[in-house]
Amino acid sequence: MTDVIRCPWITDDPVYLRYHDEEWGTPNRDGLRLFEKIILEGAQAGLSWITILKRRENYRAAFDGFDPAKIAAYDEDDVKRLMGDAGIIRNQAKIRSAINNAKVFVEHFGNDEDAFSEFLWDFVDGNPIINQRNSTNDSPSVTEISKKMGKELKKMGFSFIGPTTCYAMMQSAGMVDDHHVTCFRHTSNREA
């Protein structure tokens, strides 16, 4: 059996391997999962992604499956509950940001997750950008598109969002394929 070639940044942690092999860079048009990615990318600020990834199921439980309407109705008791939840990052600013972002989501998109997905995917004209990365140094942390996306989301009222967070979400959601060209997950290798 031949060895599978992956992006060089991936570790041998089973959670991280599964994320890389099954999710990262795979086009995702599920509005609720995209909302989740924005919240989790904001929670990740200043931390490693694996820290958040290992807590994702805890976040899903603590934040009602990332249902924006439910989160938008959270009050101070919910903030206290979340601050006491050892299964998530207990940062009050990040928790309040998640609640704020849910309120903004509901204000602009109502209960229409598809509209939110379309809004985000419109930044890439509805199709993934397929990059040809040869090394980790080839991958930017910010692009012109992620700057525009961050600016629009901030204008709507989203918080803990910016061009770096947006680009990380775009990579995760498959709006861009930043797998290395040698990685078995790169689009060109999946189509072969």
Q: Is 16 a catalytic residue?
A: no
113 closest CA partner among 67, 75, 146: 67
164 closest CA partner among 181, 155, 151: 151
23, 49, 118, 152: the active-site residue: 49
Alpha helices (runs of H) in the chain, residue ranges in sequence order: 14-22, 31-44, 49-53, 56-62, 68-72, 76-83, 92-109, 113-121, 144-156, 163-172, 187-191
Distance of alpha carbon 115 from alpha carbon 126, whole angstroms: 13
Report the SS3 class of residue 17.
helix
24, 36, 41, 167: the active-site residue: 41
Q: Is 19 a catalytic residue?
A: yes
Q: Is 22 a catalytic residue?
A: no
19, 24, 74, 121: the active-site residue: 19
**Which residues participate in catalysis according to the annotation?**
19, 41, 49
